[in-house]
Chain A
Amino acid sequence: MNFVALRMLTGDRAKYFGLVFAIAFCTFLLENQTSIFANILRRTASQILDVTDAEVWVMDPTTEYWEQTKPLKDTDLLRVRGVPGVRWAVRLYKGNPVARTETGKFAAAFLIGLDDATLAGAPRKMLLGSWERLQEPDSVVIDKAGYELLFPNEPLDLGRRLEMNDHRVIIVGISDASAPFVSLPVMHARYSEAVNFLGHERTELSFIIARAAPGLSPAELTARIQTQTGLRARTTEEFMWDCINYYLRHTGIPVNFGITIAVALLVGTVVAGQTFYLFTVENLKQFGALKAMGVTNTRLMGMILLQAFSVGTLGFSLGTGMAAAFFEITLRKMATRGIVLMWQCVGLTGACIFLVVIVASVLSIRRVFVLEPAAVFRG
């Protein structure tokens, strides 16, 4: 009987292909949109996740996300170091200077100042040069995208000069920093120099990054730091979600993507569901014949579900393959670097697709159940 069901499905080539590709494109659209959305939001925390040395971030109690920083006092670093369970804590500076090239091209940038003694937070993924050279005076490491922004159509090269706040700085390395949400160059320098590249402010300590002592989880440590110092402490993951949530709440991005995803979901599922529903309805004659031959309702239901499942799996596989291919291509582009197909999105899309297919088959099963075998012969 299962063989009959599958032959019924593939018998009409046009309907079969229509069905499979409707589901495939619906899958592609959903996976594509949700993945881009998730990845773009993840970019808001790129610079946080790039600091792989840190487990815990300490900031002013009013700081809500990465971009918004109120500097701490220098002694706050010492207070954090005094919290039991802190293995170590060092300072991290974040600023937005304007970098200028000799040709006059300029761009606002993210500047991350690393603790002079430890260089904690140094970009480990380097394309050219090395972060060790940050120990040299007036040196910065810039990310590849930033380099290409400031020196368009020029080969990657070390030793180039930039000017920031009347300071001459030398590029000693090109990093593969994760793309920031706003596509500004990402630069790393030493703390003591970074503060000069931006002009002095009264206090400059943007963040304190810390690691918990062995046997203490970062979450427990954040609680301790908050209790003892009154500062806000977040684990890297919590801080990432702070950023994502901030953008979700305060920007139009979720609305924008939400509408696209909703439309994709609606159109995709309606098309897929309706196609499948119509397919069953058009095959009512055959089902009637089977019923007349004495095939039970349960058996018929099994057949329809098998058809639904096969068509759903096939369409979903093809769609996911297309989405994966799409992201493999865009991954190589500078602007869309780091945007990948996320398994969470694939899972979610799969759940949606199968739900829709099952709903469509349940609706059509109802038609088959109420069908009188004799109806076939009335035609």
Chain B
Amino acid sequence: MKRFILPLIGVLAALGAAVSIARTYPRRQSTDPPAPPPVSDFPNTVAAVGLVEASTENISIGTPLSGVVAKVFVTAGQMVRAGDPLFELDMRHLRADLKVNQQALAVARARVEVAQAHVDDLKRQLEFAERIEDKRAISAEEVSHRRSVVETASAELDESRAQVDAAESQVGAVKTEIDRSTVRAPIDAEVLQVKLRAGEFATAAPTATPMILLGRSKPLHVRVDVDEHEAWRVGRDATAMGHLRGNADMKTPLRFVRFEPFVVPKKSLTGDSTERVDTRVLQVIYRVERDDLPLFVGQQLDVFIEARPERGGQVTLPSLQ
């Protein structure tokens, strides 16, 4: 029996090894991504990234005057009509100016009355002198003098009237300034962003971040960046589909609106200004057809555009070595 021990151990060892190998051999099981990535609905497609924007494009509201903001009338998300005030600047100095100018106007008007009275007085004197027919009582020179005095006074009356006009214009100018200190909505739109609070300084110059952003959010548009290498594949009126990030099943058909005729350098959508540009993109504007999606202006969409088929096998690969 002894001589069977070693073969028996051998059999056991072989069995053990077989089990061990089968158990530990690395297996790679294919998995699906946790959230489904966007999948194109078209057999031939150009993929692109789109930025949702208002159908009026996003209007970054500017102010005609620089100054400290006194009051902001709107909050983000609010609908405004054309002409509704958005914010007003501090205008105490303008109101003071107005008062000064109004006083000046009153003074000018009073001056007109004074001048008028003066003219009337002189005219009466002239009339009186002219009515006297006895040449000995009044000399011809005296009459002529009184006549020219009346003319001078009349001219002074005209001047003071002109000064009233000038003062009125001054008042009007200050009123315009006051009016310009209140910034109003240019169109009916939704307030998309308010980056301005009472007490902050509003500059009458382009700013990096808009003070107030307006735009009509129904319907929404998508500005789709297409790599210039692929741009030729996108036809006019090509249909497209936009997929929401994070849930690619939420998608909306897109209707072609227009091409931006000017091809622009690709802007990194992360907004990092230090990125250097090495690609230019054709921008295509699409309209979002579904309005029941949780979609907001400024959001990114994965877009698939139905495309012309790729030319076959023409590109040669740069070799590795």
Q: Is the CB of B31 within 8 A of A52?
A: yes
Q: Is B3 an interface residue (CB 8 A)?
A: yes
Q: Is the CB of B30 within 8 A of A230?
A: no
Q: Name the residue on B nearest A55 (C-beta).
A: B30
Q: Is B106 an interface residue (CB 8 A)?
A: no
Q: Is A96 an interface residue (CB 8 A)?
A: no
**In chain A between 107 and 136, which residues have their CB closer than 8 angstroms to a CB of chain B?**
115-122, 124, 131-132
Query: Which residues of the other chain, A, contact B32 by a CB distance below 8 angstroms?
Result: 53
Query: Which residues of the other chain, A, contact B262 by a CB distance below 8 angstroms?
Result: none
**In chain B between 21 and 71, which residues have their CB closer than 8 angstroms to a CB of chain A?**
21, 24-26, 28-40, 43-49
- Give the CA-CA distance A132 to B29 in the complex, in Å: 19
For the complex formed, measure the closest distance between the CB of B188 and the CB atoms of chain A, giving whole angstroms: 34
- Out of A81, A119, A192, A318, name the residue touching B45 (CB < 8 Å): A81
Q: Name the residue on A nearest B247 (C-beta).
A: A117
Q: Name the residue on B nearest A320 (C-beta).
A: B17
Q: Is the CB of B230 within 8 A of A313?
A: no
Q: Is A181 an interface residue (CB 8 A)?
A: no
- Out of A74, A83, A117, A342, name the residue touching B21 (CB < 8 Å): A342
Q: Is the CB of A321 within 8 A of B16?
A: yes
**In chain A between 275 and 292, which residues have their CB closer than 8 angstroms to a CB of chain B?**
none
Query: Which residues of the other chain, A, contact B281 by a CB distance below 8 angstroms?
Result: 75
**In chain A between 26 and 72, which residues have their CB closer than 8 angstroms to a CB of chain B?**
42, 49, 52-53, 55, 61-62, 64
Q: Is A268 an interface residue (CB 8 A)?
A: no
- Give the CA-CA distance A42 to B28 in the complex, in Å: 13
Query: Which residues of the other chain, A, contact B268 by a CB distance below 8 angstroms?
Result: 74
Q: Is the CB of B20 within 8 A of A341?
A: yes
Q: Is B235 an interface residue (CB 8 A)?
A: no
Binds B, one of A138-146, A257-265, A294-302, A322-330: A322-330
Q: Is the CB of A119 within 8 A of B35?
A: yes
For the complex formed, measure the closest distance between the CB of B30 and the CB atoms of chain A, giving whole angstroms: 6
Q: Is the CB of A88 within 8 A of B310?
A: no
Once A202-B275, A341-B21 are accepted as A-B contacts, the answer to whether A320 and B33 lie under 8 Å apart by CB is: no
Q: Is the CB of B17 within 8 A of A324?
A: yes
Query: Which residues of the other chain, B, contact A62 by a CB distance below 8 angstroms?
Result: 320
- Out of B20, B43, B230, name the residue touching A78 (CB < 8 Å): B230
- Give the CA-CA distance A75 to B263 in the complex, in Å: 15
Query: Which residues of the other chain, B, contact A168 by a CB distance below 8 angstroms?
Result: none
Q: Is the CB of B6 within 8 A of A321?
A: no
Q: Is B315 an interface residue (CB 8 A)?
A: yes
Q: Is the CB of B10 within 8 A of A340?
A: no
Q: Is the CB of B26 within 8 A of A340?
A: yes
Counting from the closest, the 3 A-B pairs by CB-CB distance are A321-B13, A81-B47, A120-B33
Binding site for B on A (CB under 8 A): 10, 17, 20, 42, 49, 52-53, 55, 61-62, 64, 73-75, 77-84, 86-90, 115-122, 124, 131-132, 192, 200, 202, 226-230, 232, 236, 313-314, 317-318, 320-325, 327-328, 331, 338, 340-343, 346
